[in-house]
Homo-oligomer: A and B are copies of this chain.
Amino acid sequence: MAKDHNEWERPLRELEENLQKLRELAKKEQDSDKRSSLSDRIQDFEARRDRYIDVMYSNLGPWEKVLVARAQKRPYTLDYIQALFNDFVELEGDRRFGADHAIVGGPATYDGRPVMVVGHQKGRNIQDRQYRNFGMAKPEGYRKAIRLFEMAERFRLPVITFVDTPAADPGVESESRGISEAIAASMLKMFELTVPTVSVIIGEGGSGGAIGIATSNRVLMLEHSVYSVIPPEGCAAILWRMPERGADAAKALKLTAQSALEYGLIDEIITEPKGGAHRDLVEVSQAVKASVDRHLEALLTLSPTAVKTDRYDKFRAMGNVLG
């Protein structure tokens, strides 16, 4: 069982490194015959690389989805904002305690339409990851989100949220300042909104931390993203007292987009580029856009009251109850 995406993609990375070396050799090679032979080998390697990607990504198991969803190279919220939005003005204050960097948000235009965009943000290098608290928002983050949701309501801006967090911050400070209340209040605020809301799970949909900003009219999931009530390692620790059995827990938890759709908990799966979202930001952004557009269009035909009712009815129906 691979521990992370990096380890899991190692064979592929080695293939690509070899490929790169061949290309450099070919570039330097003067002899035309040898160059032609190198070219053949390059084509062969490229084909193998493509087949490898096909095989690896065509039938990802739940644990592999977890690895891909957590991949350090995976596009994050600000990448999608950069790709799909204009005029983004990040607003940072919660007006209570602090400026949280694990949730970003603010007004922007989307296809020329004024909207409010909010999302978890992970960091890509060591400093940035610390600055973003590994995408784990504190109460301040959710209270900022609440402010932005209120603003969206006041100015009739549709809301788009990007969900990508391992969990809400579980530290002592977050407990002290009411992380539970902040998450619950954020959900409650979203249910009060009469403007349309669309959420996209782009990576890790980690438990309460995720749903805190994901109670939208439409919830879409990227093909290889995951959404779970508990991290698989935590589940394995409880079930078998063996965190290392995360892969088994991932399977038991049915945390894939495909399962979520099957249980009627999300509205659509957004297909990722071949080999995962991290291989083509442009393509995945356009796929996200196409899906968001379609759902937003539909929601924009509803009256404010109908928007709220639609959202209530959607979540009201969730559950599996006998008798």
Contact = CB atoms under 8 A, between A and B. Distances in A.
A97 interface: yes
A96 interface: yes
A219 B110 CA distance: 48
Interface string A172-185: 00000110010001
Interface in A160-203: 177-178, 181, 185
A95 interface: yes
Contacts of A95: 178, 181, 185
A298 B213 CA distance: 45
Interface string A84-110: 000000000001110000000000000
A180 B121 CA distance: 30
Contacts of A139: 96
State the oligomeric state as a number of copies: 2
Contacts of A97: 96-97, 177-178
Nearest to A181: B95
Interface string A135-150: 0000100010000000
Interface in A33-90: none
A176 B103 CA distance: 21
Interface in A113-149: 139, 143
A185 B94 CA distance: 13
A41 to B, nearest CB: 64
A46 B181 CA distance: 60
A137 to B, nearest CB: 16
Contacts of A96: 96-97, 139, 143, 177-178
A99 B153 CA distance: 30
Residue among A96, A97, A139, A185 with max Cβ neighbours from chain B (10 Å): A96
Contacts of A177: 96-97
A313 to B, nearest CB: 24
A233 B95 CA distance: 32
Residue among A97, A143, A177, A181 with max Cβ neighbours from chain B (10 Å): A97
Interface of A: 95-97, 139, 143, 177-178, 181, 185
Given A96-B143, A96-B177, 9 more contacts: A95-B178, A95-B181, A95-B185, A96-B96, A96-B97, A96-B139, A96-B178, A97-B177, A97-B178
7 contacts: A95-B185, A96-B96, A96-B139, A96-B143, A96-B177, A97-B97, A97-B178
